[in-house]
A and B are shown apart, each in its own frame.
Chain A
Amino acid sequence: MSATLEKGVNAFREVMDAPIASFFNSCVHCGLCADACLFHTETGDPKYTPIYKLEPLKKIWKQEYTLLGKLASMVGLSQPVTDAELEEWSPLVYDSCTLCGRCTVMCPVGNDITYMVRKMREGMAASGHAPAGVIEATRKTIEQGSPMGILPKTFLAQVRDQSEETGIEIPVDQAGADYLVIMSSMEIMGYPEFLGSLARIFKQAGVSWTVSSEAFEATNSGIQIGVSDIARQIVMRIVDAAEKLGVKYVISPECGHAYTALRWDGPNLIGRPYKFGVVHVLELLDQLHKAGRLKTEGKTDEPLTLHDPCQIVRRGGVVAEPRNLLNMVASDFREMEDCGSYNWCCGGGGGVSANHRAEELRFKSFQVKKRQIEGTGVGLMVTACANCRNVLEEGLEHYHMDTKMIGITELVAEYLKEDKPA
């Protein structure tokens, strides 16, 4: 599909809806959203003010969806959106926005700016102004099945490894299982122990589960780049496999945007509700613990803190669960400033970590996280998103910090109560 300005403008028209029109009407240019955004607070550059990132979309709205704007266009008082303008906005829409949603919860007039940036990316991608790194990740997802180019045989090799490591058989393509486990690219390549940890937890809790050789990839770069057709294809892969295997639930892994893509965007992309439920792994672990099926013993004395992944916590409503789980296995859990629903993003969500152009800006913006971590005085940080984890590890390295990181599922599995032989 060749990208043109016309296609981009058409995409802008297609995403225009009542919420967006009300948001543009309501903005009073108070500038508070700038103080909610790490790309502004850490650089001080006004161009990173969240609402400003939407100027081209606002222009189309004003020119085509308001009477006054139409009149102004007719008498030549306003200029059409140009390719040069969209190119100028590309770094604002893709590099300096992780779709973290902090501006959305802070805006006093109630503008969901994140929603609009996500929609604006549709027009940016259609007009050929998406960054190369994100385009590449999306191409690989379509051609090979995953943004990092992970083939089914690579995934199955990791499954075998984890099976051998834990001594627990990991079911593959088992029809009729209750839960289907999928993983993000970052987990498959960087943190495969997530799968081993789950295998151990599920064995203890007696959970019926499986992985799929066809749908194992949870990352949805179609959403990050803003191409709904591709996003639909990626979601459909999981839906087909889940419905073929007849599972009751698909478990969204420790990956923030994957959760948003599967749990909230998916049914809207494919145009129908699923025949299965979607549960985040933290929700499931918390449920199992409350039902007495997940038992741990002992706690780590090491002081630790939690980085809240935006899409799971602020935009996913999974706030208490990670805290319940941490308090179960840690005796010195310290919250960081602005924790929970108002936490600061790692700086690499929403496709930013796949976008090489954004790297310098991402490290600069990491300073807020650095201050947060230093404020807690701990040497261990837990999170529940493999992409956050990777971005945080890169940031820690960049600033020569010796904070260690671990995923929640992995940490919980470390304190699993061993079943004693009868």
Chain B
Amino acid sequence: MSHMDLLIWARGTGLQLALGVFVAGMVLRFFEIYSLGRKPDLSTPRPGKAWAGWKTIVSRSFPHPSMAKRTYPTVVLGYIFHIGFFVALLFFAPHIRLFRETAGFGWPALPTPLVDAMALAAIIGLLMTLGYRLYHPVKRFLSNFDDYLAWTLTLLPLLTGYMAFHHLLLPYTLMLAVHILSVELLLVFLPFTKLVHVGTIFVSRWYNGDMLGHKGARL
């Protein structure tokens, strides 16, 4: 199989298979959650409950100052990695082109040098989170195989994408194929590792806010 054959497979059948597993996996995980149900709260809510869950989905992205002060490496690295990752994923011109070819619509890209810098920041941020995870007593204590697997699966697409763009290490076609395969690996594992939080975070924040809002407590 030539590099081009591999790339064609990765962009075609491979991607379809990975997306299939991803969608089925996410549906399963959400079914596992919502099928457990939730008892109605019979106590009289305070006013302001209605939007509390939705507000918390947004507000929990911003740490309380007293918390940020204590934990700034986690907070700062978290922001750098997440923003860098999503900028690279959603605003890199070739990614949008691929999406447009498939879905028929797209959105404007950010300038490539900016995306390049953000991707590099995300890679460095991710490397630092691993270092911090190994260094910090609480993080090291909590960490298990899932944490290191999730870290690896997240780094690979960033790293291979960056190397493909800069024509590093492997021939471009092969590196691009490896990049797409690493994305597929991420998609396949995402629903079954802690990476599932990309979806369930909205559910958790909503429940948390809804319960606090019911009591009229600060979100």
Interface residues of A (CB under 8 A from B): 16-23, 25-32, 34-36, 40-41, 44, 46-47, 49, 51-52, 65-68, 104-112, 115, 263-268, 271-273, 277, 314-317, 319, 337-338, 340-342
Contacts and interface: CB of A to CB of B under 8 A. Distances in A.
B207 A316 contact: no
A31 B204 contact: no
B74 A30 contact: yes
The 6 closest A-B pairs by CB, nearest first: A317-B216, A110-B205, A46-B141, A31-B138, A267-B42, A341-B218
Contact of A268 (B37, B42, B67): B42
Contacts, number: 174
Interface string B18-54: 0000000000110011111111011110100000000
A267 B43 contact: yes
Interface of B is mostly: helix
B203 interface: yes
B74 to A, nearest CB: 6
A30 B139 contact: yes
B204 A23 contact: yes
A36 B64 CA distance: 11
Given A66-B32, A315-B217, A29 B142 contact: yes
Most buried by A among B36, B138, B206, B218: B138
B201 interface: yes
B142 A110 contact: no
B87 to A, nearest CB: 20
B173 interface: no
Contacts of A29: 139, 142-144, 147, 194
A261 to B, nearest CB: 11
Contact of A18 (B34, B41, B143): B34
Interface in B130-157: 136-144, 147, 150
B129 to A, nearest CB: 9
A58 to B, nearest CB: 11
B217 A341 contact: yes
B137 A112 contact: no
A342 B28 CA distance: 37
B202 to A, nearest CB: 8
Given A67-B32, A315-B215, A316-B215, A342 B66 contact: yes
